[in-house]
Structure 1
């Protein structure tokens, strides 16, 4: 079974290259039975892709472009999204297991009430995305992702990994972040630093966190005051 290790986390990847596995080309991810399995779907340009109470098992989605992409109460098992442009993405009350988003543009996404288990975001643009009540029940990693002004609120990202990501004005609201691995990132412009108790950093990042905290507190340095 394929896997990738980032920091102290090993993410199990979708099982798409096993001997004897054949992925059938499909023209839609919608199904009257609510189940699409062993599939390959891609190079589609859609206005809307709205899936509810659906299960996608063992498949690959490539080159998908959608103006509106919505998953509501959807279960994804062993699915890979590669080089997709998913504008106005909404993922609610869903479960993702052994899922990879690779080279995808998912800017401004809203992910709510969703659980992640062995999920990898690799080289994705996730600017302005909001993650609310998202829970990592297994390994989760973001590597080489852009998360400018993204926010995490009431999330449980315990033991997750953010590796070589752009975290400019990325905000961490109240949540559980014990063991969250932030090594290998520039932390100077993080927001919500006071909520990041028990995270994992390198010693060289102490000054970066301090700079972020000082900016957040909006303190005034005495030597910058005009003499009176």
Structure 2
């Protein structure tokens, strides 16, 4: 299988172009059997997409626009989403394994109570997204993503990587972040810095974390007080 490395972490990607693999065009991702496999789907503009207890295995979704997407207890295995607008998506209690989101808009999305195993978000807009009780069981990479005012709460992201991302007002609530790789990012506008024990940074980023902490504590500098 193909893989790509980010620092010390390598993420395994779905190999959708391997010899002998044929992806059939499908007109829906819903199935009475609960399984859609070896598929291509896209170039669609939907108002609603709701999948529950469904498995999507080995497929590519491209140029899909959905106003409201809800995935409940869904398993995605070896699936690539390319150039999709999945704004306000809700993905709950689902398992994603060898999944790539590339050039996607997933602003305001909610990922709640699931597991991520070898998942890559590449050049995606994830502003205002909410990650709650998400557990990384394998490599998880956010590369060149916008995460403005996104929040992570109760997540286990040990070993995950944020690479060259916009982390303005990105908030980290209580969770497990030991080993989270934050190198290559501007950390000055992070929130929840006190929860980021044992993360991985460059020495030059110490001042950025300190600035973020000072801002969060809302301290007053003595030289700003009137000497009266």
How much does 1:190 deviate?
Answer: 0.3
How much does 1:17 deviate?
Answer: 1.1
Please state whether the residue corresponding to 1:181 is helix, strand or coil.
coil
Is 1:205 equivalent to 2:205 in the alignment?
yes
1:188-199 aligned at under 5 Å gives the runs 188-199=188-199
Please state whether the residue corresponding to 1:5 is helix, strand or coil.
strand
| Distance (whole Å) between structure 1 residues aligned to residue 116 and residue 32 of structure 2 | 26
Match of 2:164 in 1: 164
Please state whether the residue corresponding to 2:223 is helix, strand or coil.
helix
Match of 2:108 in 1: 108
Is 1:31 equivalent to 2:31 in the alignment?
yes
Match of 1:49 in 2: 49
How much does 1:184 deviate?
Answer: 0.1
CA RMSD of the aligned region, Å? Answer: 0.4
Q: Deviations over 1:34-82 (max 9, x none)?
A: 0000000000000001000000000000000000011100000000000
Match of 2:148 in 1: 148
| Distance (whole Å) between structure 1 residues aligned to residue 167 and residue 127 of structure 2 | 9
| Distance (whole Å) between structure 2 residues aligned to residue 216 and residue 146 of structure 1 | 21
Please state whether the residue corresponding to 1:63 is helix, strand or coil.
strand
1:175-194 aligned at under 5 Å gives the runs 175-194=175-194
Please state whether the residue corresponding to 2:199 is helix, strand or coil.
coil
TM-score by length of 1: 0.99
Please state whether the residue corresponding to 2:58 is helix, strand or coil.
strand
Q: Deviations over 1:100-137 (max 9, x none)?
A: 00000000001100100000000000000000000000
| Distance (whole Å) between structure 2 residues aligned to residue 198 and residue 87 of structure 1 | 33
Please state whether the residue corresponding to 2:212 is helix, strand or coil.
helix
How much does 1:27 deviate?
Answer: 0.4
| Distance (whole Å) between structure 2 residues aligned to residue 199 and residue 146 of structure 1 | 20
1:83-122 aligned at under 5 Å gives the runs 83-122=83-122
TM-score by length of 2: 0.99
| Distance (whole Å) between structure 2 residues aligned to residue 159 and residue 53 of structure 1 | 28
How much does 1:226 deviate?
Answer: 1.2
How much does 1:227 deviate?
Answer: 1.8
Please state whether the residue corresponding to 2:18 is helix, strand or coil.
coil
